[in-house]
Amino acid sequence: VEESGLRGGLADGLTHDIITRLAKLRDFFVIARGSVFALADRRIAPEEAGRRLKVDYVAAGTVRSAAGRLIVTVELIEVRTARIVWAETFERRPDDTFAVLDDIGDSIVSSISAEIE
């Protein structure tokens, strides 16, 4: 998840949270966050990152702030075809940033798990 226009850490925190939540699901093989962040730091496209990591799906997205709103956009990409199989934009007021990120994390994980199963 990339971050634009925000203090550092929100995107990384959301990414950590999503990786942890997906790893708890028995049906998923989730790549370690160190590998994920290493490729993200090198600005490798999601499809190429997926090929290098030998995974079937990659989740990519952005976190930004605009007009007093926290906007998180996420897409699930099938690596083999580079097809976006699911995408969603979450827009919330950042009154309680951690609660908002928790809510968004729940939604992302449930949507991704439903799409892949």
Asked if 85 and 77 touch (Cβ cutoff 8 Å), the reply is: yes
Indicate if the alpha-carbon torsion angle 36, 37, 40, 42 is positive or negative.
negative
Question: Distance between CA atoms of 42 and 49, rounded to whole angstroms?
Answer: 10
Superfamily in which the 2-116 domain is placed by CATH: TolB, N-terminal domain (3.40.50.10070)
Which pLDDT does position 81 carry in this prediction? 94
Q: Give the residue extent of every domain in the chain.
A: 2-116
**Average pLDDT per block of 10 residues along the chain, 117 residues long:** 56 86 84 84 87 90 87 90 91 81 83 80
Q: Which amino acid does the sequence have at 91?
A: E
Question: Distance between CA atoms of 69 and 46, rounded to whole angstroms?
Answer: 26
